[in-house]
């Protein structure tokens, strides 16, 4: 095998670094060091970043094999000192081999790790004529020699540019995600989190998840019509979250529900209120979830609340909930349809539903802009 094809063979694993997805910069660096340890048949390895101006080392990662010796420190910054096994390679700006070392590879400050390094190579990594990192491998049963330095040179030439490019991409991604997060308002974060919680229901009850999204659109329209902020009713996104505690075979039952099953489904309002009872927000989220099946005349559940004892947000959700539930098919019955849904709301205006809210909903339907397409 000639030198060129030998190098290609030796470095192929390192080009593979670019094809992997890494959850963190730490994982990427550890993968690189582990690869170097395996390829050199070493027992342990490490990687420092190095500040050429301050003469400061920053211990970034140990090989996974080094961790078997006990707890080790990471991200430890300190000045390079003569006693350290890698200091000569820094001062000479060249790889250093030591085959009869009695030095202890200790972790300063913590003193948690104390294992002997019997032989090692310390390999400085240069960029723009500055040392930027120090790679080390050690404790191979056989001595290291110049061939190992040649191999390390190939691994670093091939692998390090890939590592630094991936690190920069990761940093850029994290920076832009961080900026994106900082630019969001509390309301936006809350709504996004609430949508995620609502989506959890989809895993076991697809109907409810779609229903909640529809109800959220309608409640936002009603809220705007009433001059309220749409965010105020964002609890509509998860108004049925309590169904997560109801057995899936009941939620997805295709036939009519038995009386006991209906009683169980009705518990979802109280379960939902309980789930959000400790979350303190400017809006009464636990009440709007727990009261969305209450009715103005006291005929609702779970507590038979009447009139304005039911919070406004729950009265809004009640109207949106009724319209969507009657307009779309459910697992256990065909939908009466949107005309019947609207007449139910108008017939129940004052008695069962807040007239102020029903009138606003009728306006929303007339304008059609907010919920157009949902029930086409």
Active site residues: 243
Binding region for Fe ion (CB under 5 A) out of 19-27, 39-47, 232-240, 354-362:
232-240
Binding region for Fe ion (CB under 5 A) out of 99-107, 179-187, 237-245, 344-352:
237-245
Please say which residue, 151 or 273, places its beta carbon nearer to Fe ion: 273
Within 13 A of 132's CA, how many CA atoms are on the CB side?
A: 10
Please say which residue, 134 or 265, places its beta carbon nearer to Fe ion: 265
DSSP state of 256: P
* In the complex, least distance from residue 281 CB atom to Fe ion, rounded to whole angstroms: 20
Nearest to 331 by CA among 248, 271, 244: 248
Please say which residue, 69 or 199, places its beta carbon nearer to Fe ion: 199
C-alpha to C-alpha distance for 202 and 244, rounded to whole angstroms: 10
Binding region for Fe ion (CB under 5 A) out of 42-50, 91-99, 125-133, 238-246:
238-246
Nearest to 301 by CA among 267, 331, 324, 254: 267
- 258-277 residues in contact with Fe ion (CB under 5 A) are none
Please say which residue, 225 or 322, places its beta carbon nearer to Fe ion: 322
**From candidates 31, 43, 231, 240, binder to Fe ion by CB under 5 A:** 240
- The angle formed by the CA atoms of residues 367, 345 and 266, to the nearest 5 degrees, is 120
Note whether 246 and 270 are within 8 A (CB).
no
Q: How many residues bind Fe ion (CB under 5 A)?
A: 1
Binding region for Fe ion (CB under 5 A) out of 17-25, 158-166, 190-198, 233-241:
233-241
* In the complex, least distance from residue 325 CB atom to Fe ion, rounded to whole angstroms: 8
Please say which residue, 56 or 270, places its beta carbon nearer to Fe ion: 270
Contacts of residue 238, Cβ cutoff 8 Å, sequence gap at least 6: 194, 197, 198, 212, 272, 276, 289
* In the complex, least distance from residue 233 CB atom to Fe ion, rounded to whole angstroms: 14
CA distances for 158 relative to 46, 75, 154, 272, angstroms: 18, 25, 6, 56
Note whether 159 and 28 are within 8 A (CB).
no
* In the complex, least distance from residue 292 CB atom to Fe ion, rounded to whole angstroms: 6
Query: Phi and psi of 44, rounded to 5°?
Result: -135, 165
Please say which residue, 43 or 240, places its beta carbon nearer to Fe ion: 240
Residue entry with tokens 């080094």: 66
* In the complex, least distance from residue 160 CB atom to Fe ion, rounded to whole angstroms: 58
Q: Under the criterion CB under 5 A, does residue 96 sit at the interface with Fe ion? A: no
* In the complex, least distance from residue 289 CB atom to Fe ion, rounded to whole angstroms: 9
User: Is there a cis peptide before residue 200, judged by omega within 30 degrees of 0?
Assistant: no
**Could you list the residues that contact Fe ion (CB under 5 A)?**
240
């Amino acid at each position: 095998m000639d030198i060129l094809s030998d190098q290609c063979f030796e470095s192929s694993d390192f080009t593979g670094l670019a094809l992997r997805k890494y959850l963190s910069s730490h994982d990427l660096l550890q993968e690189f060091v582990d690869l170097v340890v395996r390829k050199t048949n070493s027992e342990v390895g490490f990687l420092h970043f190095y500040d050429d101006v301050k003469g400061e080392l920053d211990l970034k990662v140990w090989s996974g094999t080094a961790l078997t010796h006990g707890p080790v420190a990471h991200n430890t910054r300190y000045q390079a000192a003569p006693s350290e096994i890698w200091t000569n390679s820094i001062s000479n700006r060249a790889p250093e081999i030591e085959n009869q070392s009695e030095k202890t590879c200790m972790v300063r400050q913590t003193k948690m790790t104390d294992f002997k390094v019997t032989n090692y190579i310390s390999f400085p990594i240069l960029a723009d004529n500055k040392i930027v990192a120090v790679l080390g491998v050690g404790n191979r049963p056989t001595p290291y020699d110049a061939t190992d330095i040649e191999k390390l040179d190939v691994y670093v030439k091939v692998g390090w540019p890939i590592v630094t490019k991936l690190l920069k991409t990761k940093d850029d991604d994290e920076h832009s995600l961080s900026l994106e997060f900082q630019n969001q308002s509390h309301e936006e974060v809350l709504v996004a989190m609430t949508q995620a919680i609502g989506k959890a229901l989809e895993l076991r009850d697809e109907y409810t998840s779609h229903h909640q999204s529809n109800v959220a659109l309608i409640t936002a329209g009603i809220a705007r019509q009433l001059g309220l902020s749409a965010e105020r009713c964002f609890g509509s996104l998860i108004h049925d979250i309590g169904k997560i505690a109801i057995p899936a075979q009941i939620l997805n039952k295709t036939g009519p529900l038995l009386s006991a099953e209906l009683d169980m489904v009705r518990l979802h309002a109280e379960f939902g209120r309980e789930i959000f009872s400790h979350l303190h927000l400017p809006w009464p989220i636990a009440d709007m979830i727990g009261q969305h099946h209450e009715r103005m005349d006291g005929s609702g559940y779970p507590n038979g609340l009447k009139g304005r004892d039911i919070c406004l947000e729950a009265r809004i959700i009640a109207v949106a909930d009724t319209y969507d539930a009657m307009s779309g098919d459910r697992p256990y019955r065909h939908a009466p349809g949107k005309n019947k849904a609207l007449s139910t709301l108008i017939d129940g205006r004052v008695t069962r539903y807040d007239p102020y809210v029903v009138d606003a909903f009728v306006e929303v339907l007339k304008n059609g802009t907010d919920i157009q397409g949902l029930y086409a």
